[in-house]
Amino acid sequence: MINLKFSSAFVAIILGIAILFTGCGTLEIGIETPISPTLLHETNPTEEIIIPSATPPPTAVPEPTSPANKDGGEIPDLVSLGHLAPFGSHDIGLIVVQDEEVTVESSPVDFGLFWGYSPQTGKLAYSSEFFHGAENDRASISDLWVYDYQTGSATQWLEDNVSRAVWAPDGEHLTAAVYNPETDQIDLVLLSGPDKVRKIAECASMTFSWSPTGDTLAYVNSRVWLNYGLHESCLGTFLVTFPNGISGDEWDVSQVSEFGIQETSGNNFSDAPLWATEQNALIYPDQPFWVVPLDGSPAFIPQTPNGEAPLELPRPFGNLWAEDLHQLIGNYDVGLSGNGGVWIYQLSEHLTHIEEYYRIGDIPPGDNSFTTLVDWWTPEESILVFDEDNPDTSLYLSEMWKAPVVWSLVENRWLNNRDQ
């Protein structure tokens, strides 16, 4: 059985809500001494940077494999801030999964922004300070540091102008959206170490993501950013392809869709397209989300199951895509409405229809849920969440990190003794 432990130190959280080229804010919440619950599963995180009528008895799940490429010392399988990334503070503690244990631990480094963790190499990307304004105050930027869990050392990779950073699937390269003061635009760069930088796209955006194969990167330039200096000629959806792999010296940038040229409901700082490789498409968050085919055909919002207006559906954040199940999993903040919690959108095979959408845990419509998404537990099969809806309040860690539990996407139920 997996033991989920938590540190007993007093920690505080500083959260920010930032959108590209906008101002920032903070919030402080206290953390209390924890109680250690038990969970009946093991972990298998992804290689980067959602209603049953009753709860069945707990069952065991198959043992997952360990992350590949573990060289040298012991490194965590997962280090996460969940849906809070990239905001936060080292004071909040980090969610760490290692050797069948889930813990909330003190961060090994002080950080103002948490960018992500690479389980292949045991490296954590972060900024040493929160966002500050660029020269013209239209871009929110910071620096870029990397902490190595194997060596216990931290190194600065870029000293400023970083608006977002994401690990490539190989776990060795970082992709960063960097503000260029000469052009007043965002460039995408690829880094393999301190100041080892290759510019791979100009007039780009922070809303980018890597394909699962790791040889193609997609980014979306939306019309909403025109108000903050984006050039009209930059609008659209683009792919950066590496014919000889990410370490090769050749790459190509091409526009594959006009999506972004039309008006959308709005963009969020941390939005990134999800790769639906089976359908050769991207899924892009927006009221609730768009499907962007990569063959040049028009983007579309899937039809809703009961004819609801898309704006009436919960808009998911911090999303995961379960390819085989055709499920989009996202977190909806309780502060946005009375429908907070972790939502699942079940899509049709060709992504043209939303067949159903619901919150995990059988939460009645209109009620709030305080369950928050962390990450995959077993990729595309189950998710790790922190849960305030658990009736046993002794399992709560604090007002921030709650009881850690696992939800099965395949079986539509909790995989532990949450309600026992």
Give the range among 45-49, 71-75, 323-327, 383-387 with minimum mean pLDDT: 45-49
Q: Say which residue the tokens 């012991």 belong to.
A: 74
- Residue 363 has which token pair? 């939460």
pLDDT beyond 60 at 97: yes
Q: For residues 207 and 205, what is the distance between their CA atoms, to the nearest angstrom?
A: 5
Give the range among 70-84, 156-170, 244-258, 366-380 with minimum mean pLDDT: 70-84
- Choice between 154 and 370, residue whose per-residue pLDDT is larger: 154
pLDDT, one tens digit per residue, over 301-321 is 999 999 999 888 888 888 999
pLDDT beyond 50 at 184: yes
pLDDT beyond 90 at 384: yes
The per-residue b/e assignment along 360-389, b for 16 or more CB within 10 angstroms, e otherwise, is bbebeeeeebebbbbbbbbbbbbbbbbbbb
Strands 317-322 and 327-332 come out as: antiparallel
pLDDT beyond 80 at 388: no
Give the range among 115-129, 284-298, 389-403 with minimum mean pLDDT: 389-403
Q: For residues 39 and 134, what is the distance between their CA atoms, to the nearest angstrom?
A: 46
pLDDT, one tens digit per residue, over 333-353 is 777 667 889 999 999 999 999
The pLDDT score that the predictor gives to residue 15 is 36
The pLDDT score that the predictor gives to residue 336 is 63
- Within 8 A by CB and 6+ apart from 189, the residues are 175, 176, 178, 197, 198, 199, 200
- Choice between 321 and 396, residue whose per-residue pLDDT is larger: 321
Phi, psi of 224 (to 5 degrees): -60, -25
For 360-398, give the secondary structure using H, E and C.
CCCCCCCCCCCCEEEEEEECCCEEEEEECCCCCHHHCCE
The mean predicted confidence, pLDDT, of the chain is 79
pLDDT beyond 90 at 61: no
pLDDT beyond 80 at 79: yes
- Choice between 123 and 66, residue whose per-residue pLDDT is larger: 123
Where residue 139 falls among pLDDT bands split at 50, 70, 90?
confident
Q: Is 420 exposed, middle or buried (CB count within 10 Å of its CB: 0-12, 13-18, 19+)?
A: exposed
The pLDDT score that the predictor gives to residue 390 is 63
Where residue 137 falls among pLDDT bands split at 50, 70, 90?
confident
**% of the chain at pLDDT higher than 90:** 51
The pLDDT score that the predictor gives to residue 56 is 29
Mean pLDDT for the stretch of residues 280-297: 94
The pLDDT score that the predictor gives to residue 174 is 97
Where residue 400 falls among pLDDT bands split at 50, 70, 90?
low
Where residue 188 falls among pLDDT bands split at 50, 70, 90?
very high
- Choice between 338 and 118, residue whose per-residue pLDDT is larger: 118
Cis ω on the peptide bond leading into residue 86 (within 30° of 0)? yes
Where residue 90 falls among pLDDT bands split at 50, 70, 90?
confident
The pLDDT score that the predictor gives to residue 371 is 87
**% of the chain at pLDDT higher than 70:** 76
The pLDDT score that the predictor gives to residue 228 is 67
The CATH fold assigned to 2-414 is Methylamine Dehydrogenase; Chain H (2.130.10)
Q: What does each C-alpha distance from 257 to 216, 225, 294 come to in angstroms?
A: 15, 17, 7
